Structure 1
Amino acid sequence: MQVVLNYLESRQQQFVEELREYVSHPSVSAQSDHRADMQRCADWLAAHCRDLGLQVRVHDTPGHPIVVARTPRRRGRRHFLVYGHYDVQPPEPLELWSTPPFQPQIRAGALYGRGASDNKGQHWAHLKAVEAYLRTGTELPCDLTFLIEGEEEVGSVSLESFLHRHRKELACEAVVVSDTGLPARDLPALTYALRGIAAFELVIHGPDRDLHSGIFGGSVHNPAVVLCQLLGRVHDSRGRVTIPGFYNEVEPLTAGERQQLRRLPFSERAYRKLLGVPALFGEAGYTPNEQRMARPTFEINGLTSGYQGEGSKTIIPAWARAKVTMRLVPRQRPATILRRVRAFFRKHCPRSVRMEFIPGHGCAPYRLDPAHPWARAARSALERAFGRKPVLMREGGSIPIVIRFKEILRAETLLLGLALPDDNAHSPNEKFDLEVFARGQRMSAWLWQELAR
């Protein structure tokens, strides 16, 4: 192992320059103008993996290519899958970037560029760890397959059918995903739970056209008012969701889980400053970290009704619309929650308007027992690389593909994030901390040893 670790240490400048070239590809999956860039990025990644000695195939899909790179399969060896994505979020608004998003720059120990941490830098750390084994002639103790897709930022549309078609080839003991975060540069983390999500739109229909508010106002129920009143019923003054049955399946946090969350560095003042709010608000009885990582939520994402242009237009709008997503915790199911929400709004919607409830996308929550053998192996690798016991944490976001890995491949997922809280994923001036990048390579190198045991 020392030979592998020495190789990693001696090649950091080279690895950063390679990552800079990788990040320079404008692989924006959401924008059709970048379709050729997506193909070039996939081909560049495939060529790099071949140069390392991996067996590589670029799979065409109805969307963007999927790159599969494998170490040779050997009888009797455990097989693990490493997942990542080479597509990135749109960089707009461009004027908020200090340097161009696809001309990566190094500043203050970090690489700045769109996709640096989400997700190119994170899976690049795993590739470099494997390179260290291959280039030093050190035998990998297990077989590995890298599955790197190009549609994660647009919902992984092609990946589910790909997993079904290649289920036998991709069958594995577990999946390793570094697409989450760690709380601080010197505090590693194993994310053992993800919140699920359930989305819907609520539309209130009133008159068949916009009406003059002076001539008709007072005799017609205003859809915008109805919508606001309905949404205003959802939370009580203590931040708790009032929808009957919303919390039925929610398991209380254990004392151990709450203790682990208290290990996360947190300053309310700094958190308020980061968010730009005068005060925090959330479900009473829970800390901010518990509220955002381990409790279910109901959030209005958008409200639309009536005239939105310059100046005034005195109307009663014909309709009002709200876009909502709910984050769900283990044991809650999107379909069940959506049924309860629909019933709640139907009960309270007045007969003077027509309500339309439109279910949207969703995925179930995910939880891995922190005492699972794979989880113990991952924690050991993290401690070796960072020199400190990792914290066990939940993630407030959702990664739908993790559920697909469990359903289709029957494999648990190890979430070993390398992004810092201020790495600006999905925001201008995205960056990737280069010290964490180096530690992530060491973690990955140790991980295969620990998992093989």
Structure 2
Amino acid sequence: MSLEAVLARIDQTLPDALDRLFDLLRIKSISTDPAFKGDCAKAAEWLAAELAALGFDAAARATPGHPMVVGHAGDSGRHLLFYGHYDVQPVDPLNLWHRDPFDPAIEDTPNGRVIRGRGSSDDKGQLMTFIEACRAWKAVHGTLPGRLTIFLEGEEESGSPSLIPFMQANAAELTADLALICDTSMVSPGIPSIASQLRGMLKDEFTIHGPRIDLHSGHYGGPGLNPLREMARIVASFHDHETGRVAVEGFYEGVQEVPAELLTQWENCGFDEKEYLGSVGYTVPHGEKGYSTLVQQWARPTLEINGMWGGYQGAGSKTVIPAEAHCKLTCRLVGDMDPDKLRERVRAHVAARLSPDARVTWYNDLEGSPAAVMNTARPEFEAARRALSDEWNREAVFVGMGGSIPIAGFFKEVLGMDAMLVGFANDDDAIHSPNEKYDVKSFHKGIRSWARILAALD
């Protein structure tokens, strides 16, 4: 009965919860731009004050970058840590927004009511679902459930440079029985999802050098090595174009096939491959043959070319053989793939294919992080899945994620604790893009979902 009272309180106070979210959305906490440093501090202080009002011992903690917000409540029971981030992406290009990105509003759309504004989905709307669940719980019970730590970051959108040092310096107070992360989406609208695996990431960048200066193509065209042609040949060698597989030797070491039981869940999770591909202008999948689009996205590694340039790029024509060609690439990692070993293999692949008179240099300060596989055998995962199923009136599913959320791996690597990722965003929320939105239904049922999960884990 007490859970029903909490859920009823959430329903009754939804307008107030939306008002509080709007107050947070109005703060221009863009972490990548130094011009908004004060706004990031303002957002951190706003959140610390909200947590303190709920009974948390909370403060905005200084870092070399933007503040971390940490709050603790309770001293007994299972210790849960909730993570979110209050910083947001830049709003450019501003002219594509239909309204001021920091003047949030509720809009009616063909698919329902949405909250429009920067950060509404990524991640302010999501982190506030947990805080509002705590608020309703406190209003009904007079206390918060169990032992809670809330940990909110202000640099997630700018590479999290302060995160690991802060976690290491404060490991004792941040280490919990389980981390809860709300920065993910549902596999399809209305289908509650718990991420069971996240792909890792390897970034690299290289330059192929040829002649010592740009050359006249009339004088050297033919006998001269052209770095752009060299780059095109090497980039084309990264893949087997018949099968779609990556052709780098040893690339698939550490990759595992999806267990049959999990594959069955994925096949029945409501994902519409045709709609997914068609929404961006594709008619067929173009990846690794023999694997569905979902398996390719969630459980297979990739090597993608993100940028390639060189030579003259101005108006008209300039007849040169350029001295250099450049390439940016990323690999998405799964299973037990080792980003350091993979970097060596990709670089060896390029070196082995260089022509005489070509040389390569690599950019050496780019990151790599392994994939994260969640321990779904822990009883908390099934308890949360049942709680979500009850709220959404539909079986919740364990899903994979094509993206990379390094914080889940950092919790395991730095603090030695597992993480559970539950999010209520939708794929059409336009995060990082103009006109970002978050469904009012996602916000409302997200709050109710966390209340149910807290009850299930208490």
The TM-score, its normalising length taken from structure 1, stands at 0.97
Cross-structure match for 2:170: 166
Instruction: Please say if residues 187 and 271 of structure 2, whose CA atoms lie closer than 8 Å, have aligned partners that are also in contact.
Output: no
Amino acid of the residue matched to residue 248 of structure 2?
Answer: I
User: SS of the residue aligned with 1:309?
Assistant: coil
Distance 1:350 1:213 in 2: 19
Distance 2:385 2:188 in 1: 16
Distance 1:137 1:390 in 2: 28
Quick check: 1:156 aligned with 2:155?
no
Instruction: Please say if residues 274 and 283 of structure 2, whose CA atoms lie closer than 8 Å, have aligned partners that are also in contact.
Output: no
User: SS of the residue aligned with 1:118?
Assistant: coil
**How far is 1:138 from its partner?**
4.5
1:74-113 equivalent positions in 2, closer than 5 A: 74=75, 76-108=76-108, 109-113=113-117
Quick check: 1:135 aligned with 2:139?
yes
**Which of residues 238, 241, 262 in structure 1 aligns to 2:267?**
262
Cross-structure match for 2:352: 347
Instruction: Please say if residues 84 and 127 of structure 2, whose CA atoms lie closer than 8 Å, have aligned partners that are also in contact.
Output: yes
User: SS of the residue aligned with 1:183?
Assistant: coil
Cross-structure match for 2:316: 311
Distance 1:291 1:57 in 2: 42
Cross-structure match for 1:424: 430
Quick check: 1:297 aligned with 2:302?
yes
Distance 2:388 2:355 in 1: 56
User: SS of the residue aligned with 2:59?
Assistant: strand
Instruction: Please say if residues 99 and 105 of structure 1, whose CA atoms lie closer than 8 Å, have aligned partners that are also in contact.
Output: no
1:221-300 equivalent positions in 2, closer than 5 A: 221-237=225-241, 238-300=243-305
**Which of residues 115, 122, 139 in structure 2 aligns to 1:118?**
122
Cα deviation code 1:161-216 (max 9, x no counterpart): 11111111112001000101102332101101000001111210011111111112
Instruction: Please say if residues 239 and 282 of structure 1, whose CA atoms lie closer than 8 Å, have aligned partners that are also in contact.
Output: yes
Instruction: Please say if residues 185 and 436 of structure 1, whose CA atoms lie closer than 8 Å, have aligned partners that are also in contact.
Output: no
**Which of residues 204, 212, 216 in structure 2 aligns to 1:208?**
212
Quick check: 1:147 aligned with 2:151?
yes
Cα deviation code 1:23-48 (max 9, x no counterpart): 11111000111111111111122222
Instruction: Please say if residues 263 and 391 of structure 1, whose CA atoms lie closer than 8 Å, have aligned partners that are also in contact.
Output: no
Cross-structure match for 1:69: 71
Distance 2:223 2:185 in 1: 54
Cross-structure match for 1:371: 377
Instruction: Please say if residues 119 and 125 of structure 2, whose CA atoms lie closer than 8 Å, have aligned partners that are also in contact.
Output: yes
Distance 1:248 1:50 in 2: 48
Deviates more, 1:256-265 or 1:416-425: 256-265
**How far is 1:449 from its partner?**
2.1
Distance 1:156 1:426 in 2: 17
Distance 1:390 1:257 in 2: 13
Amino acid of the residue matched to residue 447 of structure 2?
Answer: Q
User: SS of the residue aligned with 2:367?
Assistant: strand
Distance 1:372 1:164 in 2: 25
Instruction: Please say if residues 45 and 59 of structure 2, whose CA atoms lie closer than 8 Å, have aligned partners that are also in contact.
Output: no
**Which of residues 32, 35, 60 in structure 1 aligns to 2:34?**
32
Distance 1:266 1:411 in 2: 31
**How far is 1:277 from its partner?**
3.1
In structure 2, runs of 5+ residues without a counterpart are none
**How far is 1:369 from its partner?**
3.0
Distance 1:386 1:140 in 2: 24
Cross-structure match for 1:449: 455
**Which of residues 389, 400, 403 in structure 2 aligns to 1:394?**
400
Deviates more, 1:131-140 or 1:194-203: 131-140
Distance 1:6 1:403 in 2: 36
Amino acid of the residue matched to residue 399 of structure 2?
Answer: M
Distance 2:160 2:67 in 1: 11
Amino acid of the residue matched to residue 420 of structure 1?
Answer: N
Amino acid of the residue matched to residue 87 of structure 2?
Answer: D
1:19-58 equivalent positions in 2, closer than 5 A: 19-58=21-60
Instruction: Please say if residues 129 and 447 of structure 2, whose CA atoms lie closer than 8 Å, have aligned partners that are also in contact.
Output: yes
CA RMSD of aligned residues (A): 1.3
**Which of residues 9, 18, 24 in structure 1 aligns to 2:11?**
9
> Structure 1 pair 101/270, CA: closer, same or farther in 2 (3 Å)?
same
Distance 2:421 2:57 in 1: 25
Distance 1:269 1:35 in 2: 43
Instruction: Please say if residues 213 and 323 of structure 2, whose CA atoms lie closer than 8 Å, have aligned partners that are also in contact.
Output: yes
Instruction: Please say if residues 79 and 172 of structure 1, whose CA atoms lie closer than 8 Å, have aligned partners that are also in contact.
Output: yes
Instruction: Please say if residues 187 and 399 of structure 2, whose CA atoms lie closer than 8 Å, have aligned partners that are also in contact.
Output: no
Cross-structure match for 2:445: 439
Distance 2:384 2:103 in 1: 34
**How far is 1:335 from its partner?**
0.5
1:350-361 equivalent positions in 2, closer than 5 A: 350-359=355-364, 360-361=366-367
Deviates more, 1:341-350 or 1:293-302: 341-350
Percent same amino acid among aligned pairs? Answer: 38
Distance 2:63 2:362 in 1: 33
**How far is 1:255 from its partner?**
1.6
> Structure 1 pair 337/42, CA: closer, same or farther in 2 (3 Å)?
same
The TM-score, its normalising length taken from structure 2, stands at 0.96
**How far is 1:293 from its partner?**
1.4
**How far is 1:139 from its partner?**
4.1
User: SS of the residue aligned with 2:355?
Assistant: coil
**How far is 1:155 from its partner?**
1.1
In structure 1, runs of 5+ residues without a counterpart are none
